[in-house]
Amino acid sequence: MSAEIVITKIKDHLVSAWLHDHKIVEFQCLNTKQKQIVGNIYVGKVKNVVKNINGAFVEFEKGELGFLPMLDRSLKAEEEIIVQIKKEGSREKKPLLSQQIELTGRYLVLTSDKTAVGISNKIKSREQRQELRKMAEPMVTESYGFILRTSAASAQKESVLKEAQELSKRYEQIMQKGKYRMPFQLLEVNQDTESVLTFGKLPDQVDQVVTDQEAFAESLSDQGYCVLRDDEENSIERRYRIRHFLKEALSKKIWMKSGGFLYIEQTEAMAVIDVNTGKSIGHGRKAEHIRMTNLEAAKEAARQIRLRNLSGIIVIDFIDMDSEYDKDTLLRVMQQYLNEDSKKAVAVDLTKLGLMEITRKKERNPLFRQIDIDILD
C-alpha cells in the first residue's frame, strides 16, 4: 500500500492532500494570511467565569478570548493561568482552551492530564504493550505522564527515552517561564505548519512527498522525508486534480456508482448525511437493493467524513430496512470503514428510524471552514 503527501498552493492557501493507494483520503488547508494557534501555549487571564455552563472565558492574546471548561477547580476573574489551544474557533464558537498541557514528539505525547502511561490503541500486541508500559513507567512524574504513539512500537528504546527527556525538559521550561511572564504572552508553539501539512506523519510512514513549494521541499528533505520537487507550472494540478477533489468535498451532493446519492449538510451543531436511491434501480428484490445501496452509502459516507474533516456529532439517514440482521451488518461495516480513519470515529447506534449516530474526534475546523470554494474557480 502506497502513502503519499502532495503539497501545493492555491492563491493564499497552502493545500495538502494525503493519498492512500493513489486516492485522496484527507485534505489540510491553511490560509497563509491567518495565524495558526492550535497547540500554542499562553499565559492567559480569566475575564469572565460563567458558572451555569461550568466554564470561563480566558484572554490568551490581547483582545482574543477562548473558552475554558472548568473541571476540578474554580477560577476567579483576573486570575493568570497557563492555557493551551486545543481546538480552533469558528464564527459561532471561541477557541477551546485547556489547562492540561500536551507536548507532541515523534514517539511520545507528554500530557499533564494523567500521571500515568497510555499506549496507542493501534498497538495490538499484548506483549509489546506490556514491554512499552514497563519502559515508560519510570518516566512518569507527579506532574505529567506519557502516551506512547504507534511509532514507538518500532523505535529503538534509546530513541524513545531520549525524546521523553527532551519533552520533560521542554515542559519544565514552559512551567518555569509561565511563572514570570506577563499575561497574553506565547510560551510555546507546539504545532508547526509542516506538522499540519504532513498530517503528523513521520518520514518512515510516507513513501514520498510531492510539492512545488521550494521552502517545504528543502525543509522536509532535511528531516528525512523522500521529497519529489515538481517545479513545472500546474503540473501537480494536472496530475492529482486537487481543485476537482476539493470542489467535490465542498459540494452538498455526492453521486454513487449505483445511481444513488448522498446529500451532506454541515452546521455548527452537527453534520447530517441523507442517503437517497436517486437514479438507482432495483430489479425486483427491493430489500436486497436497499441493503446494497446502504452498504455502498456507508463506504462513501466514511470517505466523505474523512475528506471533509467532519467531526463531533454526525447523523446518517440511511434508507429504512426491516431486517435486524441487515441493520447489524450495516453498523458493523460502517465501523470497519471508520477504523481506516486517522482520527478516532465511532458508529454509536442505528435507530429504528434508520438514523446512524457517529462521533468523530475534532482537531481542526471542517474543510468548508478551512477553504472557500470560490477560490477554486
Distance, CA of 253 to CA of 273 (rounded, Å): 10
Distance CA 3, CA 198 (A): 11
pLDDT of 282 reads 57
Instruction: Quick: pLDDT tens for 126-152.
Output: 899 999 999 999 999 999 999 999 888
Q: What is the pLDDT of residues 157-196, one digit of tens each?
A: 999 999 999 999 999 999 999 998 999 999 988 767 888 8
Instruction: Give the C-alpha separation, 275 to 277, whole Å.
Output: 7
Which three cell numbers mark 160?
524513545
Model pLDDT, residue 353? 82
Classify burial at 209, counting beta carbons within 10 Å of its beta carbon; exposed 0-12, middle 13-18, buried 19 or more: buried
293-302 burial string, b = 16+ CB within 10 Å, else e? Answer: bbbbbbebbb
Average pLDDT, the chain: 90
Given a cut of 90, is residue 74 above it in pLDDT? no
CA gap 225, 315 in Å, rounded: 38
Q: Residue 83: count other Cβ atoms within 10 Å of its Cβ.
A: 25
For residue 72, the model assigns a pLDDT of 61
* 41-98 to CATH, choices 2.40.50.140, 3.40.50.300, 3.40.50.1980, 2.40.10.350: 2.40.50.140
Burial 86-115 (b: 16+ CB within 10 A, else e): bbbbeeeebbbbbbebbbbbebbbbbbbee
Bridge partners, residue 272, by sequence: 265, 315
Phi, psi for 103 (deg, rounded to 5):
-120, 125
- pLDDT band at 280; cut points 50, 70, 90: low
C-alpha 61/C-alpha 76 separation (Å) is 18
Which pLDDT value is given to residue 1? 64
Segment 33-49 shows an average pLDDT of 90
The structural domains of the chain, with segments of one domain joined by +, span 3-35+192-240, 41-98, 102-188, 243-368
Q: How far apart are the first and last CA of the chain?
A: 33
CA distance 90 to 88: 7
**Which cell goes with 124?**
495490538
Whether residue 239 is predicted with pLDDT greater than 70 in this model: the reply is yes
Q: What is the mean pLDDT of residues 100-123?
A: 90
Q: Answer whether residue 281 shows pLDDT above 80.
A: no
**pLDDT surpasses 60 at 287:** yes
The Cβ of residue 60 has, within 10 Å, a number of other Cβ atoms equal to 27
The string of pLDDT tens digits covering residues 290-345 is: 899 999 999 999 999 999 999 999 999 999 988 899 999 999 999 999 999 988 99
> How would residue 285 be classed by pLDDT, with cut points 50, 70 and 90?
confident
User: Topology of 3-35+192-240 in CATH?
Assistant: Nucleotidyltransferase; domain 5 (3.30.420)
The phi, psi pair for 64, rounded to 5°, reads -110, 120
Concatenated DSSP letters for 146-190? EEE-GGGGGS-HHHHHHHHHHHHHHHHHHHHHHHHSPTTEEEE--
Give the whole-angstrom CA distance, residue 341 versus residue 356: 18
Would the CA dihedral through 184, 189, 194, 198 be positive or negative?
A: negative
CA distance 111 to 168: 10
Q: Is the pLDDT of residue 113 over 70?
A: yes
* Residue 268: per-residue pLDDT: 75
Higher model confidence: residue 364 or residue 94? 94
The Cα–Cα gap between 210 and 19 comes to 11
Q: Residue 69 pLDDT > 80, yes or no?
A: yes
Helix and strand tally (H, E) in the chain? 9, 21
Q: What is the pTM (predicted TM-score) of this model?
A: 0.79
DSSP 8-state symbol, 326: H
Query: Residue 284 has what pLDDT?
Result: 56
